[in-house]
Amino acid sequence: MSDLPAIEGGKPTRLTPLRFKPWITDEDINLVIDVLRSGQLSAIGGKWNTLLEQELTKYLGTKYAATVSNGTAALHVALKAIGIGPGDEVITTPFTFAASATTILHSNAIPTFADIDRETLNIDPASIERAITDRTKAIVVVHLAGYPAEMDEIMKIARERGLYVIEDTAQALGAIYRGKMVGSIGHVGTLSFYPTKTITTGEGGAVVTSDDEIASKARLIRSHGETGKYYYELLGYNYRMTEFQAALGYSQLRRIEEIIKRKENFAKVLMEELQDIENDIIQFPHPRPYIRHAWHLFQVLLSLERLRANRDRIVEALRAEGIEATTVAYPIPLHKEPVIINMMGHGKGCPWTCPFYGRKVTYNPLPNAEWAAERVVTILIGPLYTAEDAVDTARAIKRVLNYYRK
């Protein structure tokens, strides 16, 4: 094969593109059909929601789980359940999906940001310390790409400063930090079951906790704050999950370890195959010995100074090679997104202009997040990929990067 990349006129590495697809078995399908036939499509405390919740608590080792309609709703519920509201600041990472911060705005509170660690791309505990003010009430920790954040250090800070910790585990269900399931370490954890996530229900999510009060509040907030028939004690939402979604989640959760093993195999082969260009034109986060990575995403960081093409050209070139699972997570760190810097929120500037806040927040540069956003290339890892897919992905990456090498 010629070494000319497909984007420059060469033949693509893959004739059948590598695309992400969730792993849906006949068993999954049959169970969903059975639920549809039963006519019980949605119910608080329905059979399948209850079963999925029970299995999640067993898997994660938490006392409670409450299913919700998606991972964004899970974050909103978690923030409200720990009492976040007007006048509060919540620290999160700027290098994440928007929902980690926009749900803080949905809760009428102010998102503030700590910088990330360049090696793991997760929130840096030392930067959290610097971001804490007398208004800070909580930290939303994201286990980015499936890589657990440094929870021991974060929990120590939280204990010393009296803060709540929400673990946004949308990307990391199944990841382990020093023997503990990620999502079960902070005061409350949130999950997403979007199709690209470890297990899927199409749209879906859950709030997990071992705290009695947070659990009972979360259950109420999930469903209109209703404590009796048409009796509403709290401001709640309709964030319920349907029964057929819960049945799909239950069926998927039964083979979660197999899903993670498959993704791990893909990542291992990919890392081996990329060894000869690692620390030369790329670097990537390696799992530390005390963690299990859930391998949602494979994050590649380009050595831009050694390349004569920018990141977006490299992404286009990889897609042209047939590696269509290539994306960028994330091109703009959240402290630079219009929704944050324009400070409009709910209109007329709330919550930033809220009199309960009565301050002015400035979103300062965060050099590590900006560095990562400029050079990251993401391969979305699917449970159906094979070792050959990993070899092809590495070949495509090497072909493109060697061609654009200075």
Ligand X SMILES: Cc1ncc(COP(=O)(O)O)c(C=O)c1O
Residues contributing to the site for ligand X (CB under 6 A): 70-72, 75, 96-97, 99-100, 142, 168, 170-171, 192, 194, 205
Between 136 and 169, whose beta carbon lies closer to ligand X? Answer: 169
C-alpha atoms less than 13 angstroms from C-alpha of 244 in its C-beta half-sphere: 13
Q: Are 100 and 142 in contact (CB under 8 A)?
A: yes
Full DSSP string of 273-318: HTGGGBTTTEE-PPPPTTEE---SEEEEEE-GGGBSS-HHHHHHHH
Radius of gyration of the CA atoms of the chain, in A: 22
Residue with tokens 């954040």: 149
- Is the CB of 143 or the CB of 292 nearer to ligand X? 143
CB of 170 to ligand X, least distance (A): 3
Smallest gap from residue 205 Cβ to ligand X (A): 5
Using DSSP bridges, classify how beta strands 226-228 and 376-380 pair: parallel, antiparallel or unpaired.
unpaired
Measured from the CB of residue 75, what is the shortest distance to ligand X in angstroms? 6
Which residue is nearest to ligand X, using beta carbons?
71
Token output for 275: 């060894």
Tell me how far, at minimum, the Cβ of 73 lies from ligand X, in Å. 7
| φ/ψ (deg, to 5) at 128 | -60, -45
Determine the Cα–Cα distance for residues 112 and 109; give it in Å rounded to an integer: 10
Determine the straight-line distance between the first and last CA of the chain, rounded to whole angstroms: 22
Residue 72 or 242 with smaller CB distance to ligand X: 72
Considering the complex, what minimum distance in angstroms separates the CB of residue 91 from ligand X? 15
Query: CB-wise, 71 or 322, nearer to ligand X?
Result: 71
Least separation, in Å, of the C-beta of 9 and ligand X?
35
Closer residue to ligand X (CB): 32 or 121? 121
DSSP code for 116:
B
Question: Residue 12 or residue 183: which is nearer to ligand X going by CB?
Answer: 183
